[in-house]
Amino acid sequence: MNGSLTVQGVFGRLNIRQMLAPLLIILILSMMVLPLPTFALDVFFTFNIAISIMVLLVAMYTMKPLDFSIFPTVLLITTLLRLSLNVASTRIVLLQGHTGPDAAGKVIEAFGHFLVGGNYAVGIVVFIILTLINFIVITKGAGRIAEVSARFTLDAMPGKQMAIDADLNAGLIGEDEARKRRATVALEADFYGSMDGASKFVRGDAVAGILILFINIIGGLTVGVIQHDMSAGDAAKAYTLLTIGDGLVAQIPALIISTAAGLVVTRVATEQDIGQQMVAQLFGNPMVLALTAGILGTLGLIPGMPNFVFLLLATVFGFLAWRQMRRPSTEQTAAGAATQQAAVQPAENVEASWSDVVPVDVLGLEVGYRLIPLVDRGQDGELLKRIRGLRKKFAQEIGFLPAPVHIRDNLEFRPNAYRLTLKGVPIGEGEAFQGQYLAINPGHVSGQLAGTPTQDPAFGLPAVWIDSSLREQAHVFGYTVVDASTVIATHLNHVILSHATELLGRQETQALLDHLASESPKLVEDLVPKQLPLGVLQRVLQNLLEEGVNIRDMRTIIETLAEHAPRVQDPLELTSQVRIALGRAIVQQLYPTGNEMRVMALEPGLERILGQALQGGGDSGGIEPGLADMLLRETAAAVQQQENLGLPPVLLVPGHLRWLLSRFLRRSVPQLKVIANAEVPDSRIIKVTTIIGANK
């Protein structure tokens, strides 16, 4: 009883789908050594034809090659199935061929008699032609394309990985999405490499088909004449027709499978299957259809030509061209509707009211009419998803939720133009071409691309707008390739990060306090408004954001302010105390690895002079012009030296000089970070690489 239960438990845990593939392989291999009845042979030949048709249809309806990633394995299995059937049918043909034309089953008989009219000479010619077409044209071409695609895919992998990392760093995608895209890139390389290898099996199958044909003919003649005392003519007719039927019933599915392989490796991945692409791209241009109809009609009027056929097709193409020309384009429809809407005037004059006073949007995005599909909720605009992801990433990294982005279309813009606004004032603009890609030159590309030269609107890098057909080539050359929605989203992300200070208003500050109060109500209640006004807290947070310090650790910020607020109300002094409390996080952001800090420092004499200027003027206006010019010049040179060494440009100064120098140097050297000695944790090792003012 225990034994039966154990066996039942084992079989209960087995998955039928997991067993199907091994059983199929074992069955295919067993056909090479075990004799099959003619009915089973008919079933397997029919199954082989059905599988080849299914593979062809799946290849045609597949959107992307990776959607049919099992295809190389299917290619190998179907090739093995055809070879096994050839061996099994050869055994039956040689053993039973003398008994009649149906000795090897009805399928082989039908292919040997019906398709070639029972003429074995015609059958041999047709078989050889089909095999050569499969071997020389389809299989060889598909194998070459798979080989080139595999090489290009491997060459483009670094560029694609850089593009994924850029989207991840910009907040356009999350870590899970980035992981999926990296896996997709690796799968593409594996797929085309597998296709390159699998095509060799198909070519070998074509060669084996020709050899098997001649071996079976020679073997059939030998068996018929010697063993069954048949005349040479009768033996040739009987065995050759059976061999031809056997070869055709195997080579026609092989031709279908090879065609499917060619379709898979030659198509460009889009959101349409092959049928939709052909209709849209081949028959979508009315001018092409009209010219074709004109040429066919001209040929149909020439005496001696098949006039009816030419004129019939000319009429069909002319009708298709007429239908295409009557159909208005999407752009014309959108532009016309927008113009008509803009032309509508109010029916009557209405008195002005307070409802006419529209508040200014904190963040705004205005787009031309060709970019409307990117932000249209009805069309599931891609840019809307990216903007939601940007706000979420900003909140996680900076520490507060920015205002929503209000999106509008602007008919006064160029069709592909967009503009970013902050409190109604433009702070960024550019152009994005839907359906094209922006290839950004990171500085080390290996070739030039055909397209429209431009600049990356976010960072000003040289770039080119290219067609989708050049996307893979751009990856191979080392460009970072992004689509139109990514261009706008990256620009928007750069803008909100650089203007985080202005995005933190009273409303956002109060919302931040309310969020903190849900977890630590007593902490917030004791500080605001009892000890510190909301405006002072807002100014402290803005000072931190202005110098690139995130405010995620609001607990530490509030606790520090609560400690110093009873005796200090100056926002600058409070900011200095908060920076000291956040020193570990500030230094970690600048030096994420290791305990050593390689920084720049001031010459002691220069520190004394700047300290005196601070006491006299209180800001950069107290610095003597010659000294200010020298300080700017030497700081810029030191920053350049730090960047050449691959080090962050950090200037370490005494606490009383930090605000003065940070404010004074920020405009000329925006990448410079100025930190105070008190902000450095005791666990860090400080090494000075450059002393500013040593050459004054």
Quick check: is 608 in a domain? Answer: yes
The overall average pLDDT reported for the chain is 81
Q: What is the pLDDT of residue 3?
A: 47
Quick check: is 587 in a domain? Answer: no
pLDDT at 30 over 70: yes
pLDDT at 437 over 90: yes
Number of domains in the chain: 5
Residue 301: give the domain boundaries.
283-326
Q: What is the pLDDT of residue 272?
A: 63
Quick check: is 332 in a domain? Answer: no
Angle of the 106-113 helix axis to the 38-61 helix axis, nearest 10: 70
Q: Give the whole-angstrom CA distance, residue 478 versus residue 158.
A: 8
When pLDDT is averaged across residues 376-389 and rounded to a whole number, the result is 83
When pLDDT is averaged across residues 477-485 and rounded to a whole number, the result is 91
When pLDDT is averaged across residues 1-6 and rounded to a whole number, the result is 47
149-158, 377-386, 436-445: segment of lowest average pLDDT? 149-158
50-64, 341-355, 606-620: segment of lowest average pLDDT? 341-355
**Residue 620, domain CATH:** 3.40.50.12790
Q: Are 656 and 614 in contact (CB under 8 A)?
A: yes
72-76, 572-576, 598-602: segment of lowest average pLDDT? 72-76
pLDDT band at 217 (very low <50, low <70, confident <90, very high): confident
Closest to 427 measured CA to CA, from 370, 497, 504: 497
pLDDT band at 4 (very low <50, low <70, confident <90, very high): very low
Most confident of 193-197, 276-280, 462-466: 462-466
pLDDT band at 322 (very low <50, low <70, confident <90, very high): confident
Q: What is the residue whose two structure tokens read 């952001």?
A: 589
**Per-residue pLDDT tens over the stretch 389-417:** 888 999 999 999 999 999 998 888 889 99
Shared-domain flag, residues 292 and 254: no
Quick check: is 276 in a domain? Answer: no
Shared-domain flag, residues 627 and 478: no
Quick check: is 25 in a domain? Answer: yes
Shared-domain flag, residues 263 and 288: no
Out of 581, 615, 642, pick the residue that ends a domain: 581
Quick check: is 480 in a domain? Answer: yes
Q: Are 251 and 131 in contact (CB under 8 A)?
A: yes
Out of 251, 271, 291, pick the residue that ends a domain: 271
Q: What is the pLDDT of residue 1?
A: 44
Looking at residue 481, the DSSP 8-state letter turns out to be E
Alpha helices in 618-693 (DSSP H): 625-644, 655-666
When pLDDT is averaged across residues 188-192 and rounded to a whole number, the result is 73
Q: Which residues contact 567 (CB under 8 A, 6 or more apart)?
A: none
Shared-domain flag, residues 98 and 207: yes
20-34, 403-417, 664-678: segment of lowest average pLDDT? 20-34
Shared-domain flag, residues 316 and 369: no
Quick check: is 23 in a domain? Answer: yes
**Per-residue pLDDT tens over the stretch 488-507:** 999 999 999 999 999 999 99
Shared-domain flag, residues 389 and 533: no
452-460 contacts at long range (C-beta below 8 A, 24 or more positions apart): 456/487, 457/428, 457/429, 457/430, 457/431, 457/487, 457/491, 458/487, 458/490, 458/491, 458/493, 458/494, 459/494
Quick check: is 244 in a domain? Answer: yes
Shared-domain flag, residues 308 and 389: no
Q: What is the pLDDT of residue 5?
A: 46
Q: Look up the pTM and report it.
A: 0.56
Most confident of 217-221, 313-317, 545-549: 545-549
Amino acid at 45: F
Q: What is the pLDDT of residue 10?
A: 46
pLDDT at 116 over 70: no
Q: Give the whole-angstrom CA distance, residue 80 versus residue 75.
A: 9
Closest to 489 measured CA to CA, from 587, 402, 385: 385
Shared-domain flag, residues 309 and 381: no
Shared-domain flag, residues 141 and 216: yes
Q: Give the whole-angstrom CA distance, residue 297 versus residue 271.
A: 36
CB atoms within 10 A of CB 490: 25
**Per-residue pLDDT tens over the stretch 293-315:** 888 888 888 887 777 887 888 88
One-character DSSP codes across 550-589 = ----HHHHHHHHHHHTTT---HHHHHHHHHHHTHHHHHHH
Out of 471, 500, 529, pick the residue that ends a domain: 500
Q: What is the pLDDT of residue 342?
A: 47
Q: What is the pLDDT of residue 14?
A: 52
97-111, 383-397, 457-471, 539-553: segment of lowest average pLDDT? 97-111
pLDDT at 331 over 50: no
Q: What is the residue whose two structure tokens read 């030296």?
A: 641
pLDDT at 150 over 70: no
Q: Give the whole-angstrom CA distance, residue 458 versus residue 427.
A: 11
**Residue 390, domain CATH:** 3.40.30.60
**Per-residue pLDDT tens over the stretch 227-262:** 777 777 777 677 777 777 777 777 778 778 777 777
pLDDT at 615 over 80: no
Shared-domain flag, residues 544 and 632: no
**Residue 522, domain CATH:** 1.10.8.540
Closest to 313 measured CA to CA, from 295, 327, 332: 295
Shared-domain flag, residues 242 and 376: no
pLDDT band at 554 (very low <50, low <70, confident <90, very high): very high
Shared-domain flag, residues 569 and 442: no
**Per-residue pLDDT tens over the stretch 171-180:** 667 777 878 8
